Structures are given as C-alpha cells and as structure tokens.
Structure 1
Amino acid sequence: MSRFSFTLSARSGRARTGVISAPRGEIRTPAFMPVGTAATVKAMLPESVRATGADILLGNTYHLMLRPGAERVARLGGLHRFMNWERPILTDSGGFQVMSLADLRKLTERGVTFRSHIDGSKHELTPERSMEIQRLLGSDIVMAFDECPALPADRDRIAESMRLSMCWAERSRDAFGDRPGHALFGIMQGGLERDLREESAEALRAIGFEGYAIGGLAVGEGQEAMFGCLDYAPELLPEDRPRYLMGVGKPDDIVGAVKRGVDMMDCVLPTRSGRTGQAWTRGGQVNLKNARHADDTRPLDAQCGCPACRGYSRAYLHHVVRAGEMIAGMLLTWHNLHYYQKLMSGMRAAIAEDRFAEWEAGFHAARAEGDIEPL
C-alpha cells in the first residue's frame, strides 16, 4: 500500500497550496472537509458531495462509537463501504464531543468516562480506545485523543488540559502503531496563551506525527482572538506537514486561516445552515425565510453552477423553506457545500499564481456589497 505524503507546490505570502496523497485519493489543499457526523453528510448523497469538489469527508468517532458501534461498522466492511464513500475520510478523536458533555462525564489522567446522550449507557474513552475505534472504522486520517477546554478558561486550567493532551498524544502515537497508508495527526492545545501553544507544539514535534492540528479555537473566543492565535500558531508546526484548523468555520474565518498558513478545515456550518434556510453566497449570508424572496424569480446566485441556482428561483426556495419541505435542506446544503468548495478552489488557484492578496481583497469587496437588491 502506498504511503501517506504531503507535497507543497506554491506559496503566496503565508498561504500555501499543495496535495496530500493517500491510498484512497489525493486531497488538494487548502481543503475544506464536509462533516459527515453519523456516516452521512446530512441531506446529501455521497456522489453529490463529491460533485461539489470535496476530496475528503470528516466522520465523528463519538457518534459512530455509540451508534451503530465501531465493531459493527468493521464487520460491515469499514466506514468507506458502509457510507459508500471511497475517497479519504478523517475521523476526529471524540475528545471535543466528550468536552461538551460536561454534566455527563468524569475526566481522569487515564481518559474520560461518560454517559451516552442517546440512552444513558456508560462508556470510557482513552487514547488507546480512541485509536482502536478509529482503526475499526478504517479512516485514512486519525486524530490523536485530546481534551479541549471551552474558552474562556483560566490559564491554570488551560495549561493542565494542554499537558494532559500532550500525554494523551504520546499514548495515541504508541497505540496507533505502524499503519502504512494511514496517518495520525497530533493536536496542538494551549488556548490563547502563546507560551502554552509553543510548549504544546514542541511536545508534538518531539513525538512526531504525519500532520498537525490546531485545536481549542472556534470555541467561543471570537474571530479577532482566533486570528491573533493563528498569527503565530501555524508557524510553530513543521513546515512539511499538513496543518489542520479544527471546527472552522464561516467563509471569512476560512479565508483568514488560509492567509495565515492553514491547509485543512472542517465545519458543520454549510450543512447546518442549509437545513435552516440559510445560504452562503459571494455577497454574504442570505436568509431564504425572509418575505423579500417570495416573488423573486431570480436565482440565489446567478454566477453559481449548483443545482439550486441552475434550476430554481429564490421564490421556490423561499416556499419550500417556509413549507418545511425536505428538498429545501437538500438544495441549500448542496449550494452551500458548492460555495465552500469554490471558495477553496479559488484560493488554491490564487496561491498557485501568487496573487492571494488580490484574491482576498476581491472576496471582501464582494461581501461588502451584500446580497442583490430586492425586486
């Protein structure tokens, strides 16, 4: 089996473009990974997700271990076969979801015990168990098990959490073992404290990973604080490995992250927005619930080639959103994922031609103009 590798092909400022090569296919960076929490990108067929331009999906260890169960997925041929997606899959470690169960969990140096939000059953997640679950799922990129405190938190809590995560990163590396063609990513923590981020990066580099994630951001600190951290955090990680910013984000978050040297991102926003009548366009966010669209025969975005924009009017989209029809979530999710992938391909092309600053200025100018005027 061919091995996992990363090749950088161009830079424009600190923005980078390249290719992650894995046995199941190439991932063009910067890459946006649609979130397929429970082995499905909600409201989308896998071939439709691929048609938007996605090279890789994200699956959720916590949700899949509870239902249908990692052992069952393995018996059924692994996650790729189970969900009919033959390209690369990244699985998160479960740490972030467990963090959000503060009232249902108990944290120790060994790991986390928690009660399922589905049926109250008791489970334990440790670095070793997280590696086992992700191996059973068969994901191509595996995330080290970490603990992520919600911000704001005091410095002592952030430092304690980061050091526990670094201990778990080493245990994750040991438990992952030798799996040619699969990659293990370590996760940098440290909140908004630069010296803690530096300590975390140093610990991760000493352990050695195929890629590195920046964790503990987009958890309530706000964009300005996040960008302040990203002004230095990516540079603390190895130049020749992918850098993954977890759980980000809105389009302007993504552009700002790429500008600062990030290669990979994921977020539920485009899919979740699509199911609640929200569309992302060149002019910003559009709420299809608004009455202004009720008689509008124009497409959502005349320059967009997705099915929602090619075949349907704003009036129709408004109608199916207000009526609660399933097709509303399907069309708007497809549109949003298409928009996000066009955003990524636009940035890749601009970086390759060393005109990222010019492209970014155009991106912000279009958003400043806002949506088209009502009829």
Structure 2
Amino acid sequence: MAAPAAGPVPPVPVLRIVAECGRSRARAGELRLPHGSVPCPVFMPVGTRGTAKGLTAAQLAALGCRICLGNTFHLGTRPVSGTGGLRGALGLTLSRPCPELPNPGGDRSCRGFPAGFRRSPRRYRGVTGGSRSVPGLGGPQIWGGAMTQRDVPGFAIGGLSGGEAKAQFWRTVKLSTEQLPRDKPRYLMGVGYATDLVVCVALGCDMFDCVFPTRTARFGSALVPWGSLQLKNQQFAKDFRPIDADCGCPTCQRYSRAYLHALLRSNTAALHLLTLHNIAYQMKLMGSIRDSIVQQRFPEFVREFMDTMYGGRGGPPAWAREALESVGITLA
C-alpha cells in the first residue's frame, strides 16, 4: 500500500519568543530570517541605499548590527549598475549575507501593513479592513479585521514619527499592539529616540528604525545615556574626556571630546566618528533592554534608564509616565 502523501510543511514562524516581561507587554525574541537570526527588540540603522550613511558594512557588523533598513524606492530608482537589479544592489552595498528589511518608503498612515523580512525588496500597500476609532484621540483609525487575518511574516505600524502629540503617539502604539497577533513581529516605523524606544518596547513593539542617530551625528551631536552632547559647542574645546567613559565604541576608546570638537570645525572625519558612536549607543541600548527582559528585570531597567536620562531635569515627561503606567510600570 502506498504511503499517504505528506501534507504541506508549515513555514517556520519568523518570530521565536524567548522571554516576556511579567508586568508590561515587553518581550524578547529572535527573528529567524533567511540570511541569519536577529535578536529583538532590535533597532535597525537606516541604510537608504543599502548601508548606513558614513559607515561601512563591516563597521556596522562590528558594532553588533544584525539587520539594516533599506528603501525599496531609492534602490529601485538608483540601483548600482550591473548588479542584477535591487537584489544585487543590496548584496553589493552590504557586502555580506545579512538580513535587510526593505521599506516601501510610501504609506505611513496610522495603519499597519505587512512587512516582508527578506533581502529581495517587495513593495507593500496598507491592507484595509474593519476599523475602529482610537478612544480619546479624536478619530484616528486603526485598520484591523482583514489585516490581522492575512498570512504575512509580520506587521508594521506606521505614521507615528511625524510630530504628532506624544499622548496620541503612545495610545495608538498600545492599541495597535493589542490588536496584532502575539506570535508575529511588530515593527514600529521611523521611531528612534531613546525614550521612545524604551516606552514602545514596554508597549509590545519588537523592531524599530530611524535616521535620528546617523542624522544627528552629522550635526555634531553625540548620544549619551543622559541625553546628548552638542560637540560643536565651545564648552568642549578643552574637555579631554571621551564622549562616554562607559562606551566601548572605537570613537570613545580613541578620541576625546576636545579632539572631536576641533575636528568638527574642519574635517568631515568627525561626522564619521560620531556616527560610529551613535550607532554603538543604539545597539548597546537595545541589547540592554533585551537582556533585562530575559533576566525578568525590565521594569527595574526602565526606572534606571529614566532616572539617568531625566534625573537632573525634573523627571520623565508626563506622556512617558502615563504610557508606562498603562502597562503596569510605575516610575518613582
């Protein structure tokens, strides 16, 4: 008798959840992608044309970066000549087989849309379905229904980095994560400020991207746990300390604030060195967040982060307090 035909093998889920916070919605996981695994929560440096501006792929890898964000539109309109289209352009600019998330670079409305976690770029559109208003937000719509029923690798939340009020920002993120399935990654587009990252991990997001750390570096600003340093300012002219004594990045290990201050006035190498530091800061922050979730001490981490960031400035902003309290984390 012939053996019964084997049925289709179900695909391996993209997200493997490793640990969840016992109080908030924060979770630590692993993205299982065709070109390697990526621990999350994760911040993805923006490499519009395949790599972060001012850094090489090797430098990104050395900083612990496991995934970059590319822009499908830009790669499509300006592909590298002779590389076989978009896929070849990504492979050439990255120079290594690592995951690359292609961003459609289009719709950033307040609705999720499927994100394809592949190196071959694809353009996606928002998927509309049943909707409901966000309570107290005066009518913004979250598209649910058909969207969450689609068999897609993960979901993106867009339209929340355009200057809207923070009270709307966190409530919309929270409502979105409450509707999205637990077993698929949640990518919050265009969010990269440190406080926003910590709060939105608590609200249940897994993936983030933003030009902020690289763009602010090109304006002479270095990210630190207590905010930022504008190294163009004269106060740093004779400051021979590193940007951050606790940072292990090549910039902090070799150069002083005074040196970078002087370099910023005459040499674009300073922008490269600050970009290196700022990406290292983001990678370290996300690694610390993930470790605290795995170790079941995420609420304590959040309190320590907020105390360091805002201890000398009157305490965390009200919106952050409200957002964290909504998921069970109270700040002293």
Q: Same fold (TM over 0.5)?
A: yes
Structure 1 position 360 matched with structure 2 position 302 = yes
Which structure features the higher share of helix residues? 1
Q: Which secondary structure does the structure 2 equivalent of 1:27 belong to?
A: strand
* Corresponding residue for residue 10 of structure 1: 19
Q: Is 1:3–1:22's contact at 8 Å kept on the other side of the alignment?
A: no
* Corresponding residue for residue 7 of structure 2: none
Measure the CA separation in 2 of the matches of 1:281 and 1:73.
41
The more displaced of 75-84 and 271-280 is 75-84
The letter of the residue matching 1:8 is: I
* Corresponding residue for residue 174 of structure 2: 231
* Corresponding residue for residue 329 of structure 1: 271
The more displaced of 335-344 and 215-224 is 215-224
Find 2:124's aligned residue among 129, 136, 144.
144
Calculate percent identity across the aligned residue pairs: 37
Measure the CA separation in 2 of the matches of 1:205 and 1:14.
19
Q: Which secondary structure does the structure 2 equivalent of 1:205 belong to?
A: helix
* Corresponding residue for residue 230 of structure 2: 287
Per the TM alignment, residue 299 of structure 1 is displaced from its structure 2 partner at its CA by 0.7
Q: Is 2:20–2:28's contact at 8 Å kept on the other side of the alignment?
A: yes
* Corresponding residue for residue 324 of structure 2: none
* Corresponding residue for residue 250 of structure 1: 193
Measure the CA separation in 2 of the matches of 1:70 and 1:189.
46
Number of positions where the alignment pairs a residue of Structure 1 with one of Structure 2: 294
Runs of 4+ residues over 3 Å off in structure 1: 69-73, 75-78, 140-143, 188-195
Per the TM alignment, residue 70 of structure 1 is displaced from its structure 2 partner at its CA by 9.5
* Corresponding residue for residue 240 of structure 2: 297
The letter of the residue matching 1:52 is: L
Measure the CA separation in 1 of the matches of 2:66 and 2:132.
27
Per the TM alignment, residue 353 of structure 1 is displaced from its structure 2 partner at its CA by 1.2
Measure the CA separation in 1 of the matches of 2:174 and 2:290.
20
- Over 3 Å counting, the alpha-carbon distance change for 1:16 and 1:335 in structure 2 is same
Find 1:49's aligned residue among 45, 55, 60.
60
* Deviation per residue, 1:60-83 (Å, 9 max, x gap): 112112212799552883512343
Per the TM alignment, residue 231 of structure 1 is displaced from its structure 2 partner at its CA by 2.4
TM-score w.r.t. structure 2 length?
Answer: 0.81
Q: Is 2:32–2:38's contact at 8 Å kept on the other side of the alignment?
A: yes
* Corresponding residue for residue 94 of structure 1: 105
* Corresponding residue for residue 241 of structure 1: 184
Measure the CA separation in 2 of the matches of 1:271 and 1:82.
18
Measure the CA separation in 1 of the matches of 2:165 and 2:189.
15
Q: Is 1:3–1:23's contact at 8 Å kept on the other side of the alignment?
A: no
- Over 3 Å counting, the alpha-carbon distance change for 1:370 and 1:72 in structure 2 is farther
Per the TM alignment, residue 53 of structure 1 is displaced from its structure 2 partner at its CA by 1.3
Aligned Cα root-mean-square deviation (Å) = 2.9
Measure the CA separation in 2 of the matches of 1:253 and 1:355.
19
Q: Is 1:282–1:367's contact at 8 Å kept on the other side of the alignment?
A: yes
TM-score w.r.t. structure 1 length?
Answer: 0.72
The letter of the residue matching 1:350 is: S
Q: Which secondary structure does the structure 2 equivalent of 1:9 belong to?
A: strand
- Over 3 Å counting, the alpha-carbon distance change for 1:194 and 1:237 in structure 2 is farther
Find 1:348's aligned residue among 290, 304, 307.
290
* Corresponding residue for residue 261 of structure 2: 318
* Deviation per residue, 1:254-303 (Å, 9 max, x gap): 11110100000000001111111011101111101110000111111000
* Corresponding residue for residue 170 of structure 1: none
Per the TM alignment, residue 195 of structure 1 is displaced from its structure 2 partner at its CA by 7.7
Measure the CA separation in 2 of the matches of 1:354 and 1:194.
37
* Deviation per residue, 1:224-246 (Å, 9 max, x gap): 32112122211100100000000
- Over 3 Å counting, the alpha-carbon distance change for 1:189 and 1:30 in structure 2 is farther
- Over 3 Å counting, the alpha-carbon distance change for 1:190 and 1:31 in structure 2 is farther
* Corresponding residue for residue 183 of structure 1: none
* Deviation per residue, 1:314-357 (Å, 9 max, x gap): 0011111122x121111100100000010000000100111111
Measure the CA separation in 1 of the matches of 2:56 and 2:156.
28
Measure the CA separation in 2 of the matches of 1:33 and 1:16.
17
Unaligned 5+ runs, structure 2: 1-10, 314-332
Per the TM alignment, residue 44 of structure 1 is displaced from its structure 2 partner at its CA by 0.3
Measure the CA separation in 1 of the matches of 2:249 and 2:300.
26
